[in-house]
Amino acid sequence: MQANCYLVCCEETACAAIIDPGGDAARIMARVRAEKRDVTLILNTHGHADHIGANDAIRKTTGAKVAIHADDAPMLTSAAQNLSMPAGEMLICSPADLLLRGGERLLVGKLEIEVIHTPGHTPGSVCFLSGQSLFSGDTLFAMSVGRTDFPGGSAGALVKSISGKLLTLPDETKVLPGHGQATTIGLERASNPFLRVGGG
């Protein structure tokens, strides 16, 4: 599934957050050590297996707290709900330390990360906004949007989330998605074929 994992670093302290550690815990930790970072938060954009697979290994090594939206929290502990079981694996993670609702401003050292609840791909999908960087999970991709055919998905909710909460951000906002390449809000507002802005 090749999900993107991001290491988000405070420039004033050694603190960092890891967004969506889907796997390869050893590789992620090698990077954390190379950057001499103290990971304080593990942030999941949603509860699918390809975004949570290394949660426990990294929490064990770093002591970081795992945060996920309350509506996706049950997926951490259910291989059926996190879709690892249908894929032929049994991934069961520990429960979350922090349940998000949307609207929170999390602190990583002195760096602020805002939680935006964007249901649609899953009921508890969130995007994380830090400065001019938006970590969009499986909600918004470069010239595409997240699938809504999984249990709990809703195409109507997804478009409403993106139009109402993401496309309202400044054009220059960098979008760092859960899969594929980076883009910007301006580019997606202008040309994403899945979003008919103002078209009702």
**Candidates 26-34, 72-80, 97-105, 173-181 — which segment interacts with Zn ion by CB under 5 A?**
173-181
Among 20, 56, 72, 138, binds Zn ion (CB under 5 A): 138
- Are 155 and 145 contacting, i.e. CB atoms less than 8 angstroms apart? no
Q: Is 87 exposed, middle or buried (0-12, 13-18, 19+ CB in 10 A)?
A: middle
Q: State the pairing for strand pair 126-130/98-100.
A: unpaired
Which span sits near Zn ion by CB under 5 A: 49-57, 72-80, 151-159, 183-191?
49-57
> Given candidates 37, 48, 69, 117, which one binds Zn ion under the rule CB under 5 A?
48
Which range binds Zn ion by CB under 5 A, 52-60, 90-98, 132-140, 184-192? 132-140
CA distance to 3, 18, 29, 190, per residue, from 60 (Å): 21, 14, 11, 43
Cβ closest to Zn ion, residue 72 vs residue 188: 72
Residues shown for the chain: 200
Query: Which residue's C-beta sits nearest to Zn ion?
Result: 48
Number of residues interacting with Zn ion: please give it, by CB under 5 A.
5
Q: Which residues bind Zn ion (CB under 5 A)?
A: 3, 48, 50, 138, 178
